[in-house]
Copies of this chain bind each other. A is one copy, B any other.
Amino acid sequence: MRVRELNYRTIWPSEHGNAVEVIDQTRLPHRFEVVQLKSLADMVHAIKTMQVRGAPLIGAATAYGLALAMREHAGDEYLRQAASTLLSSRPTAVNLRWAVQRMLQCLEPASVAERADLAWREAAAICNEDVAINQAIAGHGLALLQALHEEQQRPLNILTHCNAGWLATVDWGTALAPVYAAFDAGIPVHVWVDETRPRNQGASLTAWELGQHGVPHTVITDNAGGHLMQQGRVDAVVVGADRVTRGGDVCNKIGTYLKALAAYDNDVPFYAAVPSSTIDWQIADARSEIPIEERNAEEVGHIGGRLADGTFAVIDILPAGSAVANPAFDITPARLVTGIITERGTCPPDSLPVLFPEFQP
């Protein structure tokens, strides 16, 4: 997508093929900075500190992490060790495991001498496929938004939580892909952007990328969405996901469940837009089987932003001595979900196995 008139992806190999470059998402919206990652350790650090984040992008970053590792040492033991280090960097997004498995399937049968080149090619293929998948999601989501718009005959109001835009993927996005497609097709669309505490991915990333593309949007606190739905000011909720079960439970950024409850209570359709790499076919019970990452308590009390003089600062909003809890994800049960938008089309939450019969047990 475009940033100041130039086209960018969120991740790409450096010119000489020995490093990976990413947009540092911890600096946005205040600074647009590209960082170069030269080693597996750099990539693990980037994933853990959320310089790269978003389930599909974490998948692509994992693939490139293994590619960087194969330049360091291509032996079996290091490959397994690198895979395991990456797997433990973030526990909730299943795309990480998906990418590791796909890379291992490609690399394990190959000779040590071939592995590095093979890994770089496979990582690039994963990135290109992600873009194609998101374009397919855009098309299927666009059909939904078009139908909603024809029904309503007025500008569409979409509410989204966290960032599932192009910054969360290699390009285009998942939840925002249909919004960009609708905007580009001339459908009047406006996005309510949940700020998404504690890390403010909505206020800092979603608002920024919608602004760069010119899509009308309004930032709201995470508390406001229910009220807006009660007032009939939201036509659909569209979010991404970090993991979706085969039964259609949606594990996504903390707070998504609250918006799904409000959507259900106000007859507002609630969609999750995901590539199939986000679906975990092995899990039956989301609540007991999906590990919910508990992130550093400092993320809640410490907030970064721009001072009046334009410099960046971090403030502490809490009284000394107050304890903090910081669960990063929650689970929206399938009963609250209207549909899952995938690269193969949109289906009710319990019909994912119909769209993807090859994953049947």
A147 lies within 8 A of chain B by Cβ: no
Contacts of A318 in B (CB 8 A): 29, 203-204, 207, 219
* A324 contacts B220, C-beta separation under 8 Å: yes
Residue of B nearest to A302 (CB): B305
* A331 contacts B230, C-beta separation under 8 Å: yes
Q: How many residues of A are in contact with the other chain, CB < 8 A?
A: 67
Oligomer copy total? 2
A200 lies within 8 A of chain B by Cβ: yes
Contacts of A216 in B (CB 8 A): 323
* B197 contacts A292, C-beta separation under 8 Å: no
C-alpha gap A314/B300 in the complex (Å):
16
Contact of A317 among B200, B231, B327 (CB under 8 A): B200
Give the contacts of A2-39 with B (CB-CB under 8 A).
28-29
Among the stretches A43-51, A236-244, A253-261, A273-281, the one at the interface with B is A253-261
* B219 contacts A222, C-beta separation under 8 Å: no
Give the contacts of A274-329 with B (CB-CB under 8 A).
287, 292, 300-301, 303-308, 313-327, 329
Contact of A301 among B219, B320, B324, B329 (CB under 8 A): B219
* A198 contacts B226, C-beta separation under 8 Å: no
C-alpha gap A253/B331 in the complex (Å):
25
Q: Tell me how far the C-beta of A23 lies from the nearest C-beta in chain B, rounded to whole angstroms.
A: 14
A195 lies within 8 A of chain B by Cβ: yes
Contacts of A200 in B (CB 8 A): 317
Residue of B nearest to A200 (CB): B317
Residue of B nearest to A259 (CB): B258
Contacts of A228 in B (CB 8 A): 325, 327
* B300 contacts A219, C-beta separation under 8 Å: yes
C-alpha gap A165/B300 in the complex (Å):
22
* Extra contacts besides A217-B323, A305-B315 (14): CB < 8 Å: A197-B221, A203-B301, A204-B319, A211-B321, A219-B318, A220-B324, A226-B330, A227-B257, A228-B325, A228-B327, A230-B257, A303-B305, A303-B315, A303-B317
Please provide the 9 A-B residue pairs with the shortest distance between their CB atoms, ordered closest to farther: A223-B255, A305-B315, A29-B319, A227-B330, A261-B261, A197-B221, A207-B322, A305-B317, A258-B258
